[in-house]
Structure 1
């Protein structure tokens, strides 16, 4: 199945790589495993994964810095798999652009389910494409880039792009937390809410919003969010 999603597994423990590879391939995914960040980064020059599973405790690189680079430069979903269970580690990983955070030890079927959830995309309405223009900005979803009126470019991550696209497809409509969870996948709860808060905060920063009085992404307390821009797609 050459069109099956490709999942890369970066973990220095062979038993974990083998366990994940077996579970994922049985579920219909293709996999590639790596024990070091250097060989993984070399493979990215010729390979475009759909999902990157990244352990934080790597022998040759800090996993968090790698997650940050992947979130900015790759279109893949990034999921951290780590034995670090502290809340601050999870928050930091999400703030750096990870889509999800799975704590070791884990059941491989849970990882498969999380990946499937992350790969589910919001249904695209007929008028949407790969480029959206709104309030002096252009969002290029084919290359994960925001461009302002002067042509200055700001990259956004895959995770940020999912949220931005959800807003741009539904301008001037209330988007509840439940709708975000249903559209973007992932388990509802505090972790999901925190991940959405982080992504929306990062999008506001990239759109140069006043955090105390944002003009485009408005928080409706107790209800959700509304995107107030006028959007055209091409």
Structure 2
């Protein structure tokens, strides 16, 4: 496979790039010189806002949608990246869902939906990326620090992210010989709509104060790790990087 000749030629696909950590990751990689395909599941307007912000800062970006668990839709997504930008060097797979309830109360349809998006979605997207990504590239999945924190109500979500970690660590070894790193970022509580939705302010304050840094993480905190894994971290491979201010 051919490697890009310079940093400006590098291409990243960011799933879930329409908001939260995904948007911050897309904007950070664009600042680092990547052309970015911003994926969205249902909110094209927010993805276009991300693209507009990148372009306003002098970067290159394009929005494209699709269900991450649908292999046909994701094939089209990667086709678009190759057609419009010339290839693929980095995948940042942030897309996921997080319905919460105690195990005894969570209905099985919701459980199945979580696993479909978070586990099958990761498998589909990683499979396609691994087949297309250029030598010297990086696959960056997203797990969660909840796999260590064991917070009540997160059983189905944490189970899905445990599977994501297993996929990540095994794929890193399956890609032996191609100079492609595969890692997972595991954020702690981060001030995104996905985390804040439905939580009373008192609970948010309690969670923030429990952290040694006495605050929630920000999307920009998390994307520091993404930029590291997408760029200089060539000797970090097959790892789960906990980015949580010391919460776990």
The answer to whether TM tops 0.5 is: no
> TM-score, normalising length from structure 1?
0.25
Q: Which structure would you say has the larger RCO, counting Cα contacts within 8 Å and 6 or more residues apart?
A: 2
More helix by share: 2
More strand by share: 1
> TM-score, normalising length from structure 2?
0.24
